[in-house]
Every structure is written in structure tokens, then in C-alpha cells.
Amino acid sequence: MAMPPLPDSLTEPDGSAVIRVLSYNIRSMRDDREALARVIRACAPDLVFIQEAPRFFRWRKRAAWLAARTDLVVLSGGATASGPLLLCSLRATVERTEDILLPLTPGLHRRGFATAVVRIGRARLGVLSCHLSLRPDERYAQAEMLLDRLKAMDVPHAIAAGDLNDRPDGRSFRLLAGELQDCWAAKPWGDEYTSTPDHPHQRIDAVFATGGVEVLGCGVPRGLPGVTEADLRAATDHLPVLAALRVPASS
């Protein structure tokens, strides 16, 4: 079934920017890399919030390959953020970047945030890609740190996206949705569930935006022209989340 069109990227006469953002857990590019690139390219994103980016041998080369195959550039993250990665289109002017490693719990995987402040047109915004813990108490603490990090960016608007390892009724998800806009809940578009591609039954990946950002649509881009079922199944073990957002111009 055809979906209603999602707005294209553009700059409004008032200086606000309509941007497309994509959140995607890519399982270290261990699956079909060409299918992954086709999905990302078909979504035509301005900003891509990656989780489980390559972190080991020649990880920079693999991140650069993905950026080149999707007409994007590497913004920040990767192994230096323990997995989260940010890609961007040439619409984005980079103001600063910072990769953040979170406190390590012995016996658990190290987590981090890939962050940046960018300008698109006259809109200035902070961006953060995350992959939260599988353990509930650590996950909640990381969600608190995510909110603190967005406030510390000192920007008028911000977007955070990633694999939360939590459902909308979970404690960590509810914490984030209480402080930020859950973009799917604000303006559903496409499909809801992000895990797994073969049997979608839960929403554990999400895009969040601060107040003042207008959500024009958000969801899994199933049925979007150029995004095939075969590619979604072959690319990785998560489904992507695509959102169109209108970010006001900054003074």
C-alpha cells in the first residue's frame, strides 16, 4: 500500500529548515552492505543517526564506504563513541562535534554518544545518536545522561535518536518521551515496529525532538519508493526510522 508522501528537504522563506533524519541500527555492517546503502539512499536523509557502526579493524574505512555509497559524509562517532555514528548531507554546516564514552559497568558493553552541533540554513541544532544498555538500571541512567547532554549543548533545538532497547511503556523510554517529543507519537507515518525485520513486533528505535521542532511525519519507511522488503530484510536486524522535521530558524 502506498504511503502518503513525506516532505522533501527544503529551506523555508522564513529561514526554517525542513530536514529528513534517519535512525538505523546497522549491526556493524555484517549483513548485506549494498542493501543497507540502498535503503539509506532511498530515504534521502540530511542526518543519519547510526547505531552499531563498525568499531574494530578498519572501522573508519567502512564508515567512509557507507557515507560515500549514500552520498553523505561522516560527521562524528564510530569506534570513538563505542558504536553510535552520525552521517550528514552537504546541507549541514558543522559547528562542533564530540564523542562521549559513558561510564562502564564491569561485565557489560561500553556505551557512548555521538554528538554534534550543526546548522542547516538558518536553523541551528544539536544532534545525538545513542544505543542504550540492555540492563534496565544502566539504561535509565544513560537516558538521564542523554537529557543532560542535550541541555549542555546550549542549542535552541535538538534531535536525539537511536536504539533504546526499551519499548514505549518502559521506564527509560517514558523518561525521554516525558522531556522530548516522541516523533512517532507526535505524527505517525509509515509503520511503527522496528524489530525485527522478519517479524516486526516492538518499537525499540525512536527519534526524539525538543519542543519547538515541528514533526511532519515519522515511522518505518516501508513502502517508500526505492525501499524494498528484500533490502529491509537483508540490510540488518533492525528496521530504520525516518522522520521529517521543521526546525525553526535561530536568531
Q: State which residues form the domain around 51.
A: 16-247
Q: What is the pLDDT of residue 135?
A: 96
- Report yes or no on 185 lying in a domain: yes
Q: Within a domain: residue 11?
A: no
Residue 8, in any domain of the structure: no
What's the chain's average pLDDT?
97
Is residue 9 one of the residues assigned to a domain?
Answer: no
Nearest-CA neighbor of 206 among 171, 176, 236, 231? 176
- Is the distance from CB of 147 to CB of 179 less than 8 angstroms? yes
Please choose, from the candidates 157, 153, 146, the residue with its C-alpha nearest in 3D space to the C-alpha of residue 120.
Answer: 157
Q: pLDDT tens per residue, the chain (251 residues)?
A: 456 899 999 999 999 999 999 999 999 999 999 999 999 999 999 999 999 999 999 999 999 999 999 999 999 999 999 999 999 999 999 999 999 999 999 989 899 999 999 999 999 999 999 999 999 999 999 999 999 999 999 999 999 999 999 999 999 999 999 999 999 999 999 999 999 999 999 999 999 999 999 999 999 999 999 999 999 999 999 999 999 999 999 97
Query: What is the model's pLDDT at position 89?
Result: 98
Residue 173 within any structural domain of the chain: yes
In the chain, % helix, strand, coil (3-state, to 5) comes to 25, 35, 40
Q: What CATH number should be reported for the domain holding residue 104?
A: 3.60.10.10
Domain count of the chain? Answer: 1
What are all long-range contacts of 133-140, with beta carbons under 8 Å and residues at least 24 apart? 133/105, 133/108, 133/109, 133/165, 134/108, 134/109, 134/165, 135/105, 135/108, 136/170, 136/171, 136/172, 138/105, 138/108, 139/164, 139/165, 139/166, 139/172, 140/171, 140/172, 140/175
Q: Which residues contact 59 (CB under 8 A, 6 or more apart)?
A: 53, 78, 79
Quick check: is 4 in a domain?
A: no
What pLDDT, on the 0 to 100 scale, is given for residue 134?
Answer: 96
Whether residue 183 is contained in a domain is answered as: yes
* Any domain includes 3: no
Supply the pLDDT for residue 2: 56
Dist. CA 76–CA 128, nearest whole Å: 10
Q: How big is the chain by its Cα radius of gyration, in Å?
A: 16
User: Which backbone phi and psi does 216 adopt, to 5 degrees?
Assistant: -95, -15
What is d(CA 171, CA 42) in angstroms, rounded to the nearest whole number? 34
pTM of the full predicted structure?
0.97
pLDDT at 1: 43
